[in-house]
Every structure is written in structure tokens, then in C-alpha cells.
Amino acid sequence: MDTGGAQRPADPAVQVTDLVKRYPGRPVNAVDGISFAVQRGEVFGLLGPNGAGKTTTIGVLTTRVLPTSGAASVAGVDVAADPVTARSRLSVVPQRPNLDRALTARQNLVFHAAYHGVGRAERNRRADALLEQLGLGGRGGDKVDDYSGGMAQRLLIARALMHAPQVVFLDEPSTGLDPQARLFVWDRVRELRDGGITVLLTTHDMDEAATLSDRVGIMDSGRLLALDTPAALTRSLPGSATLDIDVERAPEDTGEAVLAALASLAERVEQVEQVADGSGLRARLYLSGDAAALVGPVSEALAARRARLTGVRIGEPSLEDVFLSLTGRELR
């Protein structure tokens, strides 16, 4: 078995095949037969509610959890057969900070690299460069105990990069962070990708999944329900794009007649409200695809009835809508 050799160029960065994990004494599988591949240089998001099996999947891929059956490899290395080599090629930014709080930030970085066999001069150089890159330049000498949650998260990312991994796993990277810290972490994730590192992140935040990921796998109850680019996943939903319009109708016309004239343009048209003086109305058109492309035809259809389009708002479907249509439940 070739588990310790160099990764072949064609190997995906992560390969999961029919993976099952059942924890001892549990009646159901935490991961229930999932398969997917992450290409090199890709940011791949596993999106799902609490308990979906995302952390367990990462646990197997990072050699912390033994699979019940199936196969998983990272950077061409079978994680169950050769966990030591796998660990040299991957890094994990865990959900709960597991930094040594009694040490300084810089010591946390340097000791981690030493554990992975990085030489003294090189680990000092990397620690300084990464502290700078993660915005912790002046704080390397501080005890981690004095760090805020956002700083600790940044230090976890720095630590994950100290042994130059090929694949980085981020478990819920921005949970509990304030909006500014969250944006900072997102920028760092993009930098990893730009630097050629493969990123697999888990999240229950659909914005995070849609914004950061090249492709998203939607998980629920241990299963992978859908896997595609965020755009393709939302496009796959019929009638989920919306165009809200404000209309000033001609005095002799009726609201019902205006709506009837728009009916052929969309899959469904609903009146949302009648506006104060009676001549205005607000309607919502449901369609598949690009709602913006409908503005012109709607405006023309209204002009033909001597009505005026006075406002438009475009509503794109989200990954939340995709999850809802797949499971019948909200993401949270």
C-alpha cells in the first residue's frame, strides 16, 4: 500500500469514500456513508446544523476519530493506515481553542513547529512572519491567557500554518467571533487558498459557506444531501428568486388587472400590499433564475397599461432556502 509516498499531482487533496462513523453505544451513525472529494487549492465548505456530523467527518480526516468503515485520505495519504504521515501534511483549527494558555503566543507557535520537526531558525522565522500576517505582530510575547476570543482564533490559524501543511481544516472558524473578527478570519482563509493551500471548513452559517467556499456540501443527520457551487445549489431551486415591485397604476385600472398582466412573466405573482391612497400596489413575482432580467419586461408590461414602476427589490435565494427545500427544516 502506498500511503507514505509523495502525493501524485492528480490526487485530490481530500478523498472520502463511503465513510461511516458510529460512536460506541449510539443507536445511529454520526456519519452515515458519505463520499466526496476536495480538489487541490479549493475551499470546500461542509454546511449543516448542529449534530449533522461535520465535526466527526473532520475528526476522521484529521486522524482524531477512527472510522467505523469506509476510507479517507488527505494529500494522498490514507488517514487510518498512516496517521503520522497524514498529520505532517494537514493542520486543524479546532472548534474549541486548545492553545496552551500558560505559554506566550509565540511559544505556542514555536513548540508546535518543533513537534513537527521544523528546525530552530525556520520555526522562529515562521512564527514572526505568521504573527505579523495574522495581525498579532506586537503581541507574540503575551500570554495566551490575555488574548481575546478573536485573537486566540487568529493564533490557532497561525499555529496551523507553522508546519506548512497542504490541507487545512477549520471547524466552525468564526463561531463566537464579532463581525469584524469574522471578516478578518474570512480574509485569512482566502489568503490560504491564494497561497495554494486546500481548505476544508465546517459551518452552520450559510453566509460563511456561500461567501468563502468554491463548493459546498450540505450535511444533515450524517448524510451528504447536496454538493455543488453555492450558485449552482441556489439556481437548482425552482421559483425561489423574487422580484418585489412597487407600482403606481392608472386611475381607471384595477390592482387585479395589473397582477393578471404580469402573471405570464413569472411562475407566480402575489399582491403584497395595497398602498395608502389606493392607486399604488406592491407585488412579489417568484421565478427561477435571474430576477434582475425581469425588470425590463415588467416595466414594459406596466407601461402598456399606463402604470408606472416606482420601485424594485431583488431577492436572491440563499443556501438557507436550499437546506429548507432539502429537509423541510430551517438550518438552525
Ligand X SMILES: Nc1ncnc2c1ncn2[C@@H]1O[C@H](COP(=O)(O)OP(=O)(O)OP(=O)(O)O)[C@@H](O)[C@H]1O
Residues 6+ away with beta carbon under 8 Å from 119 = none
d(CA 120, CA 127): 11
CB of 16 to ligand X, least distance (A): 14
**96 contributes a contact to ligand X by CB under 6 A:** no
CB of 47 to ligand X, least distance (A): 10
Q: Of the candidates 9, 26, 252, 276, which one interacts with ligand X according to CB under 6 A? A: 26
Report how far Cα 93 is from the mean position of its chain's Cα atoms: 15
**255 contributes a contact to ligand X by CB under 6 A:** no
CB of 26 to ligand X, least distance (A): 5
**Contact region with ligand X (CB under 6 A), list: 50-58, 113-121, 209-217, 271-279:** 50-58
C-alpha cell at 106: 509565540
**66 contributes a contact to ligand X by CB under 6 A:** no
Contact track, ligand X, 182-221, x by CB under 6 A: ----------------------x-----------------
Contact present, 95 and 81 (Cβ < 8 Å): no
CB of 64 to ligand X, least distance (A): 10
User: In degrees to the nearest 10, what's the CA dihedral of 276, 281, 284, 285?
Assistant: 180
**Size of site (CB under 6 A) for ligand X:** 12
* Maximum CA extent, the chain: 84
Site for ligand X in 5-24 (CB under 6 A): 23
- Edge-to-edge strands of the sheet including 215-220? 90-93, 167-171, 198-203, 43-47, 215-220, 223-228
**Contact region with ligand X (CB under 6 A), list: 53-61, 209-217, 233-241, 263-271:** 53-61
d(CA 47, CA 147): 29
Q: Of the candidates 19, 34, 38, 48, which one interacts with ligand X according to CB under 6 A? A: 48
CB of 219 to ligand X, least distance (A): 7
What are the backbone dihedrals phi and psi of residue 59, each rounded to the nearest 5 degrees, phi first?
Answer: -60, -45
- Chain positions contacting ligand X, by CB under 6 A: 23, 26, 30, 48, 50-56, 204
